[in-house]
Amino acid sequence: MAFGRSSRTGVMHAVSPVEPLTLKILVAGGFGVGKTTLVSAVSEIKPLRTEELLSEPGAGIDDTGGVEGKSTTTVAMDFGRITLREDLVLYLFGTPGQDRFWFLWDELAQGSLGAVVLADTRRLADCFAAVDYFERREIPFVVAVNCFDGADRHPVVTVRDALDLDPEVPVLLCDARDRESVKDVLVGVVEHAMSLARARRRSLAAGT
C-alpha cells in the first residue's frame, strides 16, 4: 500500500492507488493475417484464445491462399490486456476473420475506443470488409501492415491508395510478433481516437 505524508498527529494516511482508465481496442482483419499473433505478442496476461482446427467442411469456405500453413482459426475472439501507463490499460479483442463469424463483430465493437485493421500485402483485399465496417460505424481505426518474413513490402502511400482510405486514417508498419512494434500500433490507435474526439468537440463548439 502507498502512504502519503504524516499528519500533524503523526498518523500516516493511506493514499488510494490510481484507478486506471480502461479502454477497449478491437483487432480486425482477414483470415490468417496475424490477429491472434498480435494479441499474444503484447498481452501481459495469458491471452484467451478460441481457436479450432480447420476442418474439411470449411475447406470450400476458408480461403487459405497465401497462408497454406495455417491449421487453426479463431471462432469467437482473442482477448488480451496491456498496461500502457499506470493510469491506462487496454483490453484487446481479436475478431474472427471469416465471413460466417461476422455476426460477432457488433457485440465485440460495443464500447470500443477504436480498432486496428491488420493487413497482409499478399491478401490486401481481405481487409476491405473490416475497413468498411469501421468506416460505416464511425469507429476510429488505424491500418497496420504486418511486415513479417516473406511479406511483400510496399510504400505506405500504395497501401493507402489500394484500400481507398480517408486521408486522416493512419497507416502503420508493424511486426505482429514483436511486442514493441505492436505497442506502437496500439498507441497510434489511442492517439488517433483522441485526435478525432478533440476535432469533434471543436466542431460542436464552433457550431454553437
**What CATH number does residue 152 fall under?**
3.40.50.300
pLDDT of 70 > 70? The answer is: no
The β-bridge partners of 72 are 53
Look at residue 206 in the predicted model and tell me its pLDDT. Answer: 86
**4 domain-assigned:** no
Q: Give the angle 131-158-136 at the CA atoms, nearest 5°.
A: 15
Which residue type does 112 have?
Answer: S
Look at residue 47 in the predicted model and tell me its pLDDT. Answer: 83
Least confident piece of the model among 64-73, 76-85, 103-112, 142-151: 64-73
Look at residue 193 in the predicted model and tell me its pLDDT. Answer: 97
Per residue in 2-24, pLDDT (tens digit) is: 433 444 445 545 555 678 999 99
Look at residue 103 in the predicted model and tell me its pLDDT. Answer: 77
**134 domain-assigned:** yes
Q: Is 163 helix (H, G, I), strand (E, B) or coil?
A: helix
C-alpha cell recorded at residue 146: 504486418
C-alpha cell recorded at residue 174: 508493424
**10 domain-assigned:** no
Which residue type does 55 have?
Answer: S
**1 domain-assigned:** no
- CA 44, CA 33: separation in Å to the nearest integer? 22
Higher pLDDT, 148 or 73: 148
- CA 79, CA 31: separation in Å to the nearest integer? 17
Strand residues in the chain grouped as ranges (E): 3-6, 12-14, 21-29, 51-53, 72-74, 78-85, 88-94, 114-119, 141-146, 171-174
**6 domain-assigned:** no
- % the chain with pLDDT above 90: 58
pTM of this prediction?
0.78
Number of domains into which the chain is organized: 1
**2 domain-assigned:** no
Look at residue 100 in the predicted model and tell me its pLDDT. Answer: 64
Mean predicted confidence (pLDDT) in 54-61: 47
**11 domain-assigned:** no
- CA 126, CA 120: separation in Å to the nearest integer? 8
In terms of residue numbers, what domain contains 105?
A: 20-207
Look at residue 82 in the predicted model and tell me its pLDDT. Answer: 96
pLDDT of 84 > 80? The answer is: yes
Higher pLDDT, 57 or 125: 125
Per residue in 126-165, pLDDT (tens digit) is: 999 999 999 999 999 999 999 977 777 889 999 999 999 9
- % the chain with pLDDT above 70: 75
**7 domain-assigned:** no
Burial code of 189-202, b = ≥16 C-beta within 10 A, e = fewer?
Answer: bbebbeeeeeeeee
